[in-house]
Structure 1
Amino acid sequence: MGWYLKVLNNYVGFSGRARRTEYWMFVLFSVIVSIILAILESLLGLKSVLTGIYSLVVLLPSLAVAFRRLHDTGKSGWWILLGLIPLIGAIILIVFYCQDSEPNENEYGPNPK
């Protein structure tokens, strides 16, 4: 939960670096919240209202942590645009997000480890 709140508190921080743990814990918690909201919607008979609102709330923090994660691997945040390429772009981004941090300081800041 601490990693999730850290990302939400730094929701407009597109500079700097984010560790793998920070990124993947945020993704995990977001998926869990989305599943819980989808179950609630189906029980209450709502039409994707809660998940839609939640998606809008975490859109900017998700982009910011993805940018910082790419910075941690030494890549520009603009590599996130690969996600616009169906399937292949998402696979490449997942590989980038799984890579280890650059061990020393890079152009985006000091190593967060």
Structure 2
Amino acid sequence: MDFMQSVKTVLKNYAKFDGRSGRAEFWWWVLAYIIGAILVTAVSRTLGMGDILTTVYGLALIVPNVAVSIRRFHDIGKQALWVILMFIPLVNLVVALIFLTKPSDGPNQYGEGPQPPAA
């Protein structure tokens, strides 16, 4: 899955909390979100608006961020409640490095998986 396809998939499934998302989809989305946040912050400060646009940007994308995180946890066989740990400072870095970088485990209770199995 490439950059644009990942962004389109996350935005298309912005409120879909079931199913699974692979590593590529999740991490491309994280990159797109960070790039967007940097650009919105630069524009906001250039226009003298402080962090108003950045706050609006973050609030507008909170649902897609949570949804793709839940689907990513589903991909590695974890429950959606693990997303709560993503809101705790420093713990979120450990959770991201340990769990969200794991490869897909294959079929599990949340579905077949984001990618077809290699032949």
Same fold at TM > 0.5: yes
Mapped to 2, the partners of 1:50 and 1:41 lie a distance apart of 6
Q: Is structure 2 residue 42 aligned with structure 1 residue 39? A: yes
How many angstroms does 1:84 deviate by? 3.9
Tell me which residue corresponds to 1:94.
Answer: 97
Mapped to 2, the partners of 1:71 and 1:111 lie a distance apart of 9
Alignment root-mean-square deviation, CA:
1.3
The alignment-based identity, stated in percent, is 37
How many angstroms does 1:89 deviate by? 4.0
Tell me which residue corresponds to 1:17.
Answer: 20
How many angstroms does 1:92 deviate by? 2.1
Pairing 1:61-72 to 2, within 5 Å after superposition: 61-72=64-75
Alpha-carbon spacing, 1:89–1:6, altered in 2? closer, same or farther (3 Å)? closer
Would you say the 8 A contact 1:82–1:93 is kept in 2? no
- Between the two proteins, the alignment pairs up a number of residues equal to 112
Q: Which runs of 5+ in 2 are unaligned?
A: none
Would you say the 8 A contact 1:15–1:68 is kept in 2? yes
Q: SS of the residue aligned with 1:98?
A: coil
Mapped to 1, the partners of 2:75 and 2:87 lie a distance apart of 21
Q: Deviations over 1:21-70 (max 9, x none)?
A: 00001110010010011111121111212111111111000000000000
| Alignment equivalent of 2:110, drawn from 89, 101, 108 | 108
Q: Which runs of 5+ in 1 are unaligned?
A: none
How many angstroms does 1:83 deviate by? 2.5
Tell me which residue corresponds to 2:10.
Answer: 7
Would you say the 8 A contact 1:16–1:108 is kept in 2? yes
Aligned structure 1 segments of 4 or more residues deviating by more than 3 angstroms: none
Give the TM-score normalised by structure 2.
Answer: 0.87
